[in-house]
Amino acid sequence: MRLMGDCSAQVTAAEGGAASGVQRYSAFGEVRSRGGEMPTVYQYTGQLSQMEEVGLYHYGARWFDPAGAHFTQADTLIPGVGNPLSWDRYAYVNYSPLVYVDPTGHKACSSDGDSFDTCTDPLGITSQEFAQNFNITFEGAWEESKQWSVLVAAAMVGARFGTVLGMDAARAFIRVYALNDGKQFTFGWGSCSECKGSGGYTYNSTTIRFESLWTWHPDNRIPNVIHELGHAFNNLFWTSLSTGGRARLPEALFSDSQKSISNFPDRDSTDPNYGYGGPFGFWQQSKETTPSEEFADNFIGWTFNYWERNEAGNMRANWMNTFMPVFVNMAASW
């Protein structure tokens, strides 16, 4: 395989060394031209080609779609925790196919075929090591796959905080949730009366407990955890009101906006998604109309930076994009 400008070429040789076939690819693996015989099914970057059958390459861990320039399944591992691009779990080689390859479907790497080779280095991080990077502790009988859902969610939230604070995901997560001097963010597993039979409950800014975590639809686990992290973030901002009593500042301001701004979306409206990126299950983890639950689902949209593509979605996005940098900087300064 040799790079040629914005594309790559694969050459097969007949006995004696003469070229018997040449196949040229776009940067992301679409076939641009073909000549002669191509007797091997291992083609673009040496991966198993199923292009004629299903239009995909098989990378061992998952399938890659060259037409869409992305994997068709989310990565089950997150190498490169400090790189925000690593949190796009469908991305192929950090969108840099002229620089990197992915030999396994799990890792963007590069090699000069000699002394420089990051492709053979071990991926090598356990869930325990990952958790330590974020000052996260698990209590109870957690399955490792569910632990990874928590850790991916925490890293995505940390990466979003990091875009505001200009630091990596782990440091931003620790700074915002005030996990200093060895303080831990605790995720518990087991029965809890507050969980009401399913899901999770957030007790304060650093303690969340799950009784279940989307057993019938695992793709919803990560936003479920992000929703609870939104509650934890909200709990950082307890404040006294001039009218007496106390409230959490993010949900209080959000509630004021819903009451004072004409057409501001809420779950009492007729819009089926209410401005969120989609219906209940992924983009909405609650059906309640309280400001606290709406803010926690806003937190999902803000983390992914994805909303319903209409006026209601724009209003939610604008509110979060206006106020969240203020809240994040406030939390990081304490």
Residues 182-194 have pLDDT tens digits of: 899 999 999 999 9
pLDDT score for 329: 97
User: What's the CA gap between 47 and 194, in Å, rounded?
Assistant: 49
State residue 109's pLDDT score: 79
One pLDDT digit (tens) per residue for the chain, 334 residues? 333 333 455 555 555 555 566 888 888 888 888 777 766 778 888 888 888 888 898 887 788 999 888 898 888 776 665 566 677 878 888 888 877 888 888 878 776 555 455 666 444 567 888 899 899 999 999 998 899 889 989 988 998 999 999 998 889 999 999 998 889 999 999 999 998 877 899 999 999 999 998 766 777 888 999 999 999 999 999 987 777 778 888 988 898 888 888 888 877 766 778 888 888 888 989 888 888 999 999 999 999 888 888 888 898 999 999 999 999 999 999 8
- Domain made up of 125-334: CATH architecture: 3-Layer(aba) Sandwich (3.40)
DSSP code per residue over 266-277: -TTSS-SSTTSS
**Overall residue count recorded for the chain in this entry:** 334
List the domain boundaries for the chain: 2-73, 125-334
Residue 5 has a pLDDT of 34
* Predicted local distance difference test score (pLDDT) of residue 272: 75
Q: Which among 13, 12, 11, 6 is positioned nearest to 30, based on CA atoms?
A: 6
Classify residue 86 by burial, with Cβ atoms within 10 Å: 0-12, 13-18, 19+. Answer: buried
